Structure 1
Amino acid sequence: MRNLPLGISDFSTIRNPSRNFIYIDKTAQIAEMVRMFPAVFIARPRRFGKSLLASTLRDLFGKGIEGFEGLDIAKTWTDTTYKVVSLDFSAFRDVGTLEDFLLAFDLHLQGRLRAAGIETSPDVSRFPLQRWETALLSLPNSSLVLLIDEYDAPLTECLHLPERFEQYRRVIASFFARTKSLSGALRFLCVTGVMKFKQNVLTPSFNALTDLSMMPQYGSLLGFTEDELRTNFSTWLERASDLCGMSHDQLISRMRREYGGFCFDQNASTDVFAPWSVLQFLACPQPDFQHYGLNPGGTTAIVRNFLKVRGLLDPAHYDEPFLEDLTVIASDDPILELQPTSVLVHTGYLTIKKATGDGAVMLGYPNEEVREAMGNLCSLHR
């Protein structure tokens, strides 16, 4: 019985034979993504595997196929290795003043540059943007892979604080602008987050980013499909069936109702289960199917802070699926001018239920866990 990778987002740890963790092989999609696009962005709710994706790319580009033996990508990968700078913006998401933010950013950047073998001054009083520009200028063409996880974390934490939000936004937008101006050094760029702050941060600064967030071919890149669940977790599912006193198919059906139903595909052709909730349930199955993913204490910051500024409709408003135009979901408007449905789709509180074929989609709650979480969330802000 292989171990559940509960709370593990490091690729090399999961793939360590001595740890005996289950690993869901998404590397065929990763290989296609890298081959097709030099710079990508993907938005997913929290706890959906964005950090594991960044870690997988870090090992792939930094070490080659070492550690990828037996996975799909090992059959086709022929690229060389590169210097890899892997940044995690959640490391300095709630630090206070602009000066504190710049210092925390610079310390993080300095450490990650050194980890990549790129020389940098130890003087932490320098601005991070100057340090970053100097580093890029020192590199040959196509020699660096840049991975940025949770790029929007500092912004979502201060969404309800306009002055601080604008200060952070300018720094992050400038970071991407300088990256774009020196992008010749990049072999590949991947940016992940919960929302795409298009007008505010990304699009003006780095319009070469390809947004994969709603592309059908990457709808299952993050999250577990039902086939992946049945194939990779079969022994755990058998154990849960016994403990919950139901058949295998009854168990899957109930898990789908409680933890599945997420669709990040504008054609509505692929559904996935929430990884965190599935792993939590399988670790300790209960006949009442407890909820884990979107409790009020762990609510995505963007929704929590959006509520403080804009508010939302009554949760019952979303009980029945409703039509929404795709342009509303993928709007370029500033964050506080977005429709609530756009924020709720990106954060996983609403999902695509059906595509109508005319540029509109049917939206609704993905599952009972989210329905309950939405009610709890809104009750805290009434």
Structure 2
Amino acid sequence: MNTKRIKLPYGISNFKRLVRDNYYYIDKTKYIEQIENNPEPYIFFLRPRRFGKSLFVSQLRYYYGLEHKDQFDNIFGNYYIGKHPTSGANKYHVLHFEFSRINTTSKDSTFMGFLENVKDGIVEFITQYGLITDSEKINILSSKEPNTMLMKLFRAYRKANIYVIIDEYDHFANEILAFNFNGFKSFVSENGFVRKFYETIKAATADGIVEYFFGTGVTPITLDSMTSGFNIAKNFSTQKQFNNMLGFTEPEVKQLINLTLPDQSNHLLIKNIKELYNGYLFNENCQKIYNPDMVLYYLSEYQKNDMQPKELIDTNIASDYGKIKKLFALQEPFRNSQVLEELMTSGETPAILTPQFSFERDFNRNDFVSLLFYL
């Protein structure tokens, strides 16, 4: 039996660690070049949970952050982008926010959680790049509103070239939507703190302070409401050019099987994975994409135990069933229950994928099915 094993990057979201510890990586770095060469500088890219978004964000931070210039060859040297670096490599002050760690049990906790996450990103930015006085730092961090804190930061760094990267832009909003619809509407309303936050970023792009923006999330259900103040961003999620940027294609899954389980039947394993995980179709003119967490979970368990895992769904990826139950009560519960019945009876239901939701118009059947798809 062939005992050679590759290290599967299951659960790894830091690209530098992935490279340093010799995890196997299917090279997706060419998409950094494609994003940079695209004429739209402000981008949202959405994929379901555990789809490699945070790992890609980590790549962008190491690639564009000027503080990582001396490590460029060590981190990217063996990959496409290391051999074909772009003009933007390690040229930016990267401002990174991540909004998954917010307590949404009340209006106050949500606001304070958002404020603290903004503060964390700003503290990391100031600590990394300096360039301002202690009094300026105190003035920025003493702000009681997220948009005010961000505005003061941009003023202090008005001569910097900033790349804003936001991971999980919608995580807390999706939580609120499922359990507190009225609360959701108030947070993202015209006077809500979330919209003001994005309005501040938009103003900084107009002033030439923010040069690029890249945001990730799961669903577009809050994209319209939250970012009306940032209506200059483009949603690339269903574009053909970027269909394969995150996740695995079927040939890539076969490649992983060959490297991970060389003594097993490639044909049988790909058949099992296809039946279990099916794959996502983000663009009707493209091939299906497999969730990388599901594939890596399956292969890592098979690799350890020499058999298919008993639990076929990774517990880390299973959605909160309470949240889904609440979503079935959204807007038109009877219609939504009919969708569920159809899914349970036939295993599928036809719908047109909604690229961007808005609660200022009717939330129709296509919207609801699309929401389930994105989750």
- 1:349–1:330 Cα change, 3 Å: closer
Shift in Å, 1:210: 1.2
What corresponds to 1:27 in structure 2? 29
Shift in Å, 1:308: 3.6
CA contact under 8 A between 2:298 and 2:308: conserved in structure 1?
no
Aligned identity (percent) is: 23
User: In 2, distance between residues paired with 1:296 and 1:316?
Assistant: 23
Aligned equivalent of 2:61, options 54, 58, 62: 58
SS in 2 for 1:90: coil
CA contact under 8 A between 2:95 and 2:121: conserved in structure 1?
yes
What corresponds to 2:313 in structure 1? 292
Aligned equivalent of 2:13, options 4, 9, 13: 9
What corresponds to 1:173 in structure 2? 195
- Size of the alignment, in residue pairs? 337
Once the two structures are superposed, what CA deviation does each residue of 1:142-184 show, in whole Å capped at 9, x if it has no partner? 6111111111111111113134213432211111111101112
CA contact under 8 A between 1:155 and 1:165: conserved in structure 2?
yes
CA contact under 8 A between 2:51 and 2:247: conserved in structure 1?
yes
- 1:287–1:257 Cα change, 3 Å: same
TM-score normalised by L of structure 1: 0.79
- 1:6–1:332 Cα change, 3 Å: closer
Once the two structures are superposed, what CA deviation does each residue of 1:171-209 show, in whole Å capped at 9, x if it has no partner? 11111111101112112101111122243112x211221
CA contact under 8 A between 1:15 and 1:21: conserved in structure 2?
yes
How large is the Cα RMSD of the aligned pairs? 2.7
Aligned equivalent of 1:209, options 233, 236, 243: 233
User: In 1, distance between residues paired with 2:224 and 2:249?
Assistant: 33
Residue 246 of structure 2 corresponds to residue 229 of structure 1: no
User: In 1, distance between residues paired with 2:360 and 2:292?
Assistant: 27
**Bigger Cα displacement from structure 2, 166-175 vs 129-138:** 166-175
User: In 2, distance between residues paired with 1:315 and 1:51?
Assistant: 31
Aligned equivalent of 1:72, options 57, 68, 80: 80
CA contact under 8 A between 1:158 and 1:305: conserved in structure 2?
no
User: In 2, distance between residues paired with 1:336 and 1:161?
Assistant: 19
Matched AA of 2:93: K
- 1:41–1:142 Cα change, 3 Å: farther
Shift in Å, 1:321: 5.2
User: In 2, distance between residues paired with 1:144 and 1:82?
Assistant: 6
CA contact under 8 A between 1:214 and 1:266: conserved in structure 2?
no
Matched AA of 2:92: Y
User: In 2, distance between residues paired with 1:152 and 1:349?
Assistant: 12
**Bigger Cα displacement from structure 2, 116-125 vs 78-87:** 116-125
SS in 1 for 2:165: strand
- 1:314–1:110 Cα change, 3 Å: closer
What corresponds to 2:92 in structure 1? 82
Shift in Å, 1:291: 2.2
What corresponds to 2:351 in structure 1? 324
- 1:229–1:149 Cα change, 3 Å: same
CA contact under 8 A between 1:34 and 1:188: conserved in structure 2?
no
Shift in Å, 1:127: 1.5
Once the two structures are superposed, what CA deviation does each residue of 1:61-110 show, in whole Å capped at 9, x if it has no partner? 11243411111111222324211111111122x24333333332232222
Unaligned runs of 5+ in 2: none
The equivalences for 1:135-284 within 5 A come to: 135-140=153-158, 143-159=161-177, 160-169=179-188, 170-183=192-205, 184-196=208-220, 197-202=222-227, 204-238=228-262, 241=264, 247-267=265-285, 269-284=286-301
CA contact under 8 A between 1:129 and 1:174: conserved in structure 2?
yes
Shift in Å, 1:217: 1.1
Residue 362 of structure 2 corresponds to residue 345 of structure 1: no
